[in-house]
Structure 1
C-alpha cells in the first residue's frame, strides 16, 4: 500500500514538473514572439496601389552599370519584371505605361546585405518605402523561406536573401536549451556540423551563417559549405582569427567589426589607458589585413552607422533616441519583454546605466567606445584604399537601426569615411548584387526591374538617395503617394500595438 502511494506521489511530481516545464516553454516562446514583433498588428499589403503593366521610363538620366556616371536622355523599357531595353531612341508602343523621367535620375534599387527581419513582416513595407528592393536576412528560419516564396509568387516585398540562423559550437547544456528558443544552433562534432550544412542547403537557404566557432567545427562547416556550393558567411571568432580566415573559404564577413574585434584580440585587452597604443597597432597592420582580405576575395559588409551609435547608446541614449524615426520601428522590438531588453532608456541592452552616475567610469567608457569607432574608420579606410569589396549592411532591427531608414544613414557614413559617391552606390547596388549572385544591382538588359526614380542626382550628394519619387520592385511601380501610405500604415499599426508610449522620444 505504501509503495503504491509513493509511486503515485512520484508520478504526480513528475506530471507537475512536466506541466510547469511546458507552461514555462509556452511563456518563453510567447515573450520571444512578442519581442520579435510577431504580436504587432499586420498591415494588409493588398491595399497599396501599383502599376503592374509594362513600363516605359522616358527621357531619364540612368546610372551607368559601374555607377560612375549618369547617362542622359534614355528610355528604359520594363516587361514581366525585367529590363528589356535601354535606348536613346526607341518607339514606345501602347502596351507600355509611360513615365516621364525628364530631370529625374534612375538608379538600381538599394540592397541592404545585413538585416534581421525577425517576425516583423511590416518591415518589408518599410524597406520598399525607403527604396530598398533586396535585403539579406542574416538569422533566417523557415518563416523567412516562406516569405521568400511569397515574393517569388508576386507578393509586395523586397527580394529576400535568406541565410541560416547562426551556427555555433558552445559547450554545455544551456547553449543547447537556448537553441530551442532561437539562439545559435550548436554543433560539437564535425560530422554533425557537416550534416547540418547539407540539411540547410536542401531546405533552400542562400547561405550558412557562422558565429563564434571552434576551429575544427568552423573548418568543417566552411569546407562542407564549399563542397555544397553554398556560401559560408558571418562572424569570425578568436579561435579561428584573421590568419585562419584568409585561406578558409569563408566568402563574407558580416561586419567590419569582425576584423576590428580580432585585431583587438591579437593586440591584447584594450583598456582605456591603452587606446592610443592599440590604434597605432591597428594603423600599422590595417593595410596588410585589407590586402589579404582583397586577395582572398572576401566580401565585407559594413554596419558602420551602428558602430558609430554605440558611444551614443552607451552614454547619451536619452538624446540619441530622439534622432531616429522610432515611430516606424516595430513596438515589440522597441519595448522588449520580461525576458529581453528593447531600445528605450533604462531598457536598452547597450546603455551603460552605471556610467551615468560615475564621472570616472563615464570617462573610461567614452574613451573606449570612441576608440572602437576610430578603429572601424581606420579599418574601413584601409579596405577602401586597397579596393577590397565592401557592401552596405546595417544590422537593421539591432538596437536603434530601423529597417529601410538605417540604410540611408549607412550610405552617408560610408561616404564620410572615404568611399566616393560612386563607390557608395556600388556598395549598395552592383557589388551587393554580385555578392548575392543575382541579376540585381545594375540597370542592364535582362536584369530584374528593381529601380528607384530620384528627384536629385546621388552622384552629386549621396543623401539624394532619399529623394525617391517612385520605386519599381519586380517590375511593379509604386509612386510617392503609395510609398507615403505604406509609411503611414506601418506607423498606425505600430501605434495600435504599443504597450508603452514613445511620445517623449519623438521630436
Structure 2
C-alpha cells in the first residue's frame, strides 16, 4: 500500500509539474505570437531625436487655403506662437523674435486627419502618419489602455499625431474560443447587458473618447446605446449584423465606421448575400440606388457621421486576384514586419497568409465569381458614397490603415484620390480630411484660422487643382512643431531601417527598382 501511495504521489506530482510547464510554455508562446502579430517586436524609432522648430514661427509669401476650403489666398503671412495660429493675412511686419520661413510658390493647408486606423502596437506607424502630413488620427481598436498612453504622450508634447481613441471592438459571442479571446485579448466580449453597462462606465472613467460597436447582438447593442447616452460617451463603429437600419436610427450611435456598413445593411434588407451573388447583382444594385438617397437623408437628419474607407475594396480585389503584383505596387518597406508577416493566430499580408487571397481563384470560374463579387461590392459602396455627398451627410476620410494592404499614412492620399475619382470636387474631398473630421473629433485644428491649433501642411502644389498634391509635402507642423522635408525623409529612412532590422521574411522581391 505504501508503494502505491508513493507511486501516486510521484505520478501526480510529476503530472502537476508537467502540466505547469506546459501551461507556462503555451502562455509564453501565445504572448510571443501576440507581440509578433501586433508589431511589438519591431525596433521603435525614437521621435525625440528629430530636429524641430518650435516657439514663434512666421511663414511668409505663401498661398493659404481659405477657412471654408474653397480657394487659395495668395501671398499670405502666417504667425504661429507655440501651438496656436496667431495671425493669417497679408504681409505685415514680422517681429524679430520669429523664425522666418519663406513659402514662396507653396501652399498651406490644415493638417490632414485619418478618421479610421488600426496601429496595433506599431508606434512607428504614428510617425508614418506625420511624414504624410497627417496630424490627427482616430484609432478604432484598443490594447488595454496602450493607445490612451500614446494619446497622453502626444498631448504632453511628444512628436506624434494627436489621437482619438475608441474602446473596442465590442463583440457578443458565446462560443468557447471567443470567451477565451475575450479574457486574454484587448477587449472582453459583451454577452450580459448588465455587465455591458458596467463596462461602458469603466471605459468612460478610463478616458476613452468613444465606444466602438463591432459585432454585438441586438440586446447588447442597445445596452451600449443606452449606456453611451447615460455616461455621455459617443457610440460609434459598425452597424452590427444583428441590427437593421431602423435600429441604427433608434439608437444613440452617432458615427458609422465605414460606408460599407450601410451597403451591407441594404444587402440584408434585399434578402442576404445568397440572393445577390452571383445571379442578382444588378437587381441588388438597382435596389440600393433606388433607396440610397432616402437612407442618406435619414442619416443626415440623425446627424450621423460616416467614415469613408472606400479605397479598401479595390485594394482587396487586387489582393484577391493578383496579390504579388499588388504587393509590388504598395509601400511595403514601411509596413511593420510583424503585421506584414502575421502569426499563427492572425494572418499577415504576404502570399500564403493574406486573408483576401482566395485559393479557389485558380480557375476561370473562380476568377469570374471573384470579379463579380468585388465589382458589385465596389460599385455599391461608391454609389452609396455619392448619395451621402449629394445629401450633405458629414463624411470623414478614413482608411482602415493597418488592415492588409492599407499602409499607414500613405493610404490617406489614396483615399482622397479615390473620392475625387468618384466625381467629388477637391474642396469637398479636402473637407473630409480636415474640417469635417476635426468637427467630428472635437478638435481645434482642421481650419486655417486665427486661434486654431497649428496643425499644418506645406505643399508644393495646389490641392484644389489636383487632390494628388496632398502627397507633395514640403513640411509639416504638428502642434506648432515644424518638420522640414529633410526631417520627414529622415523619419521615413529610420522606419525603413527599423523594419529591415526586424524582418523574419525578406520583401526584396516586392520592392520596386
How does the TM-score come out when normalised to structure 2? 0.96
Paired with 2:6 and 2:195, the residues of 1 have a C-alpha distance of: 44
- Which residue of 234, 247, 252 corresponds with 2:250? 247
Structure 1 CA distance, aligned partners of 2:205 and 2:186? 21
Deviation string 1:39-78 (CA, Å, 9 cap, x unpaired) is: 1111122221111131111122111122111122221111
Contact 1:215 1:240 (C-alpha < 8 Å) held by counterparts: yes
SS of the residue corresponding to residue 195 of structure 2 reads helix
Q: Identify which of 205, 208, 214 aligns with 1:202.
A: 205
Shift of 1:418: 2.8
Name the residue aligned to 2:135: 133
Match of 1:424 in 2: 429
Deviations 1:382-403 (A, max 9, x none): 1111111110000001001000
Please give the residue correspondences for 1:35-434 in structure 2 after superposition, counting only pairs within 5 Å. 35-141=37-143, 142-182=145-185, 184-267=187-270, 268-269=272-273, 270-356=276-362, 358-434=363-439
Q: Secondary structure at the match of 1:62?
A: strand
Runs of 5+ in structure 1 lacking a partner?
Answer: none
Q: 5 Å matches for 1:461-500? A: 461-500=466-505
Q: Deviations over 1:177-235 (max 9, x none)?
A: 11234365212221111111110111111111111111111111122112212111101
- CA displacement 1:332-381 (0-9 Å, x = unmatched): 1111123322111222111012212x221221121111111111111111
Determine if contact 2:62/2:104 at 8 Å carries over to the other structure: yes
Other structure's SS at 2:88 match: strand
In the alignment, which residue of structure 1 is the partner of 2:31? 29
**Deviation (angstroms), 1:90:** 2.7
Query: Per-residue CA shift, 1:413-447, capped at 9, x if unaligned?
Result: 11112321001110000000000011111112221
TM-score normalized by structure 1?
Answer: 0.97
Count matched residues: 506
Task: Find runs of 4+ consecutive structure 1 residues off by over 4 angstroms.
Answer: none
Q: Secondary structure at the match of 1:211?
A: strand
* Partner secondary structure for residue 333 of structure 1: helix
Name the SS of the counterpart of 1:493 in structure 2: helix
Q: Partner of 1:103: helix, strand, or coil?
A: coil
* Counterpart contact for 1:29–1:181, Cα < 8 Å: no
Residues 115-154 of structure 1, C-alpha deviations (whole Å, 9 max, x = no match): 1111111111111110000111110231111111111221
Distance 1:345 1:172 in 2: 30
Is the CA contact 1:453–1:468 (under 8 Å) kept in the aligned structure 2?
yes
Shift of 1:11: 5.0
Instruction: Go from structure 1 to structure 2 and tell me whether the alpha carbon gap of 1:175 and 1:69 turns closer, same or farther (over 3 Å shift).
Output: same
Q: What SS class does the counterpart of residue 496 from structure 2 fall into?
A: helix
Unaligned runs of 5+ in 2: none
Return the alpha-carbon distance in structure 2 between the equivalents of residues 100 and 201 of structure 1: 45
Counterpart contact for 1:247–1:296, Cα < 8 Å: no
Structure 1 residue matching 2:61: 3-state secondary structure: strand
Q: Is the 8 A contact 1:384 1:418 kept in 2?
A: no
Q: How far 1:12 sits from its partner (Å)?
A: 4.1
Q: Is the 8 A contact 1:272 1:365 kept in 2?
A: no
Give the superposed CA RMSD: 1.5
Shift of residue 87, structure 1, vs aligned partner: 2.4
For 1:10-21, what aligned pairs fall within 5 Å after superposition?
Answer: 10=12, 12-21=14-23
What is the CA–CA distance in structure 2 between the aligned matches of 1:222 and 1:39, rounded to whole Å? Answer: 37
